[in-house]
Amino acid sequence: MNLERRKVQVYELPLDPDIRILRPEQVIVRFSHGKTVDIGSLCYLVRQPIVKAYLGAKRHSNIGRLVQISSIYEPRRQDIRLLISFISESIVHSGKRIETIRDVVSRLVVFIFWADQNEFYDVLNKKHIAKKALIQYTQHLKEKVSRNEISINSAARQQNTIIQFLCDFFEDEELKFSISVMRVNQHLKKNTQPPSEDVKAKVLSLCEHIFDGLTSLVLEHKPYPFELAMPSYLNFRNNKLWVFPAESWFIHPSQASSKRNGCLGYNYELGTLNTLEQIAELRLKPLINIRNDHNLLKCTENNLIAANQNFRHSQRMHVGTIAVNAFIILFLAQTGMSWSQFVNLQWDEDFNVSSSHQLFRTVKWRAEGKECSFELSVGFMPRFKKFIALRKYLLDEQKSDFLFFKLGERGLGTPVQIKTESLHGIYAIFRRIDPHLQMIQSREWRAAKSDWLVRNTDIATTALVLQNTEKTVLSSYIAGSESTHWEEMSNFLHNMSNVVLSTRNDQERLLQGAVGQCSSFGNPLTSNNNDSINKPNCIDPEGCLFCDNYRIHVDETDIRKLLSCHYCIEKTAHLIGSLEEQHATLQPILARIDSIVVKLKQYNEPLVTKILSEVEEGELDVYWARKLEMFMELDWII
């Protein structure tokens, strides 16, 4: 297959109304978030093979896909011209997000690749051909699912996207009739799992130190060399990193004494200027003329003086943008915004902050005539105000319609919208400080935020803060961190191990109780549970079950006490009130007993089974038997 490059031209979407596309086979369209699609290559029937099914062949954004020039299909040229106009109109009038439209177009490219391979060349201009292609494409997707090449959900999304696009393109909903529609299986959807607590802690700690330190350097006009505090987990000397006004604004402590080509005048280990001897030791290649090192040291001194005298020095601007990058991650963690929401977040300096919830503050402003808002925790507001001040410093006299923006190389230039792939670049910068830093995507921060809100507030508040529906929160963002699950399970098992004692552990002096024994009467301690109703106490027998001092031996006496308690609670449950009240009051107690019984069975299941059967026949522990008799005499139970 003889493939070659062709001449291409990039068109910004949406198209200017005055633009006329004369050579559609040359067109690459660029969406406002920076991503491009080589739509013009579809005019050729022989093209570079698909590498990734959901993107088409990999290529650089402004370089066209390789094609066989002689395979151009003339009728397709007009189809592509109409297709480009249709995409442009969709951006202006459909109300869909740019990322959504780009995803649809990318999926369409994949479909047309398949259509051309199966000789459906007129799929974009003849309805009956489009209908036939859709039927066969559906069968093609089903076969891929049967071979486990793609999931049923991926196939369903691809099919539904293409069907709806062609219906809209031809303005004919009948195209979807008589096609076997594939359905997304909700049970197969994978919820986004929050990152582990350890990974979160390291990312947030590093970003907080970078933002707080560099913001202080820039806004408070602090002098260079600047001592930037670092989190203790990095094990840096004195937990510091020295910052200089140089091409390399810092060097990792492990590399500070290594030979290098640039920034020889700065001592990144001690935060001073190097001597001539130290400069000579750092050079990769020995220098013949010592006078050059004298000049280098003098230039280094002058640069340091200039950076300390000019509070808008280019290096200060540069580290200011690094501080913004750190804040971006902190902001995503706080708000739980999707990356698409984040990059398109418009802004107006005339904003106000109101108290909408005890734990949160609402930041409100108007953009393009619409009221916009997001929620921030009370504790995060001081950092947000620092960011607004930093934003004003970086923009100076310039303006940006977006809350977050990019200034170009080293913090200089006109502010532009952040691109969708920028998050990877931010983590790449911070991995120079911590090479083992794990990237947390915006969806993972959203899941972590949801998990925290569900644990500390309720579903309604979670949905409000995340600007989502309660159904979406429950279905997509409530998985919980796997590491947290393991930690909670470990704590639970450890707690059970402390509670249940084998008969060989009788050396400890224990006080007899109604449901077992106590290791420290009169000193109730909260056990590892989140129940706010059932607090430990030394008065009610049930209060012992939730105390860290509660103990039970694997013997007939203690097991009979515990099972008798369970039996009596079930018999007297109706005395409490409604079923809802019974469940709220008694279910935690019964569940606690059941969990202890499970642990007891691991030690001696035959004994537990035997006593359980006897208790159900009425052979209760003396204490609980008397309790039950009292209720019977009062005719409260039968």
Question: Which range, of 125-134, 370-379, 536-545, 551-560, averages the lowest pLDDT?
Answer: 536-545
Question: Which range, of 14-23, 110-119, 295-304, 412-421, averages the lowest pLDDT?
Answer: 412-421
pTM for the model stands at 0.60
Contacts of 92 (CB under 8 A, 6+ apart): 14
Contacts of 375 (CB under 8 A, 6+ apart): 335, 356, 357, 360, 361, 362, 363, 464, 465
| Pair of tokens at residue 276 | 């001539």
pLDDT at residue 81, as a whole number = 94
Question: Which range, of 54-68, 169-183, 247-261, 549-563, averages the lowest pLDDT?
Answer: 54-68
Q: What is the SS3 assignment for 145? A: helix
Contacts of 356 (CB under 8 A, 6+ apart): 362, 375
Q: How many CB atoms are closer than 10 A to CB 528?
A: 12
Q: Does the bond joining 524 to the residue before it have cis omega, within 30 degrees of 0? A: no
Taking CA atoms, 503 is separated from 248, 438, 508, 592, in Å, by 66, 48, 11, 22
Instruction: Characterise 66 by phi-psi region: left (phi > 0), alpha (psi -120 to 50), beta (else).
Output: beta
Across all residues in the chain, what is the average pLDDT?
A: 83
For residue 232, which phi and psi values (nearest 5 degrees)? -65, -25
pLDDT at residue 529, as a whole number = 46
**pLDDT-derived band at 349, boundaries 50, 70, 90:** confident
Q: Give long-range contacts, CB 8 A cutoff, 24+ apart: 288-296.
A: 296/264, 296/265
- CA angle, 177 then 131 then 77, to 5°: 140
Please give the Cα distance from 531 to 527 (Å, whole number).
9
CB-based burial label for 18 (10 Å; 0-12, 13-18, 19+): exposed
Better pLDDT: 447 or 152: 152
Please give the Cα distance from 279 to 274 (Å, whole number).
6
Examine the pLDDT at 355 and tell me if it is beyond 90: no
Better pLDDT: 450 or 349: 349
Mean per-residue pLDDT, 519-547: 61
Please answer whether residues 545 and 566 qualify as being in contact, where contact means their C-beta atoms are separated by less than 8 angstroms: no
Better pLDDT: 506 or 596: 596
Q: How many CB atoms are closer than 10 A to CB 166?
A: 21
Examine the pLDDT at 602 and tell me if it is beyond 50: yes
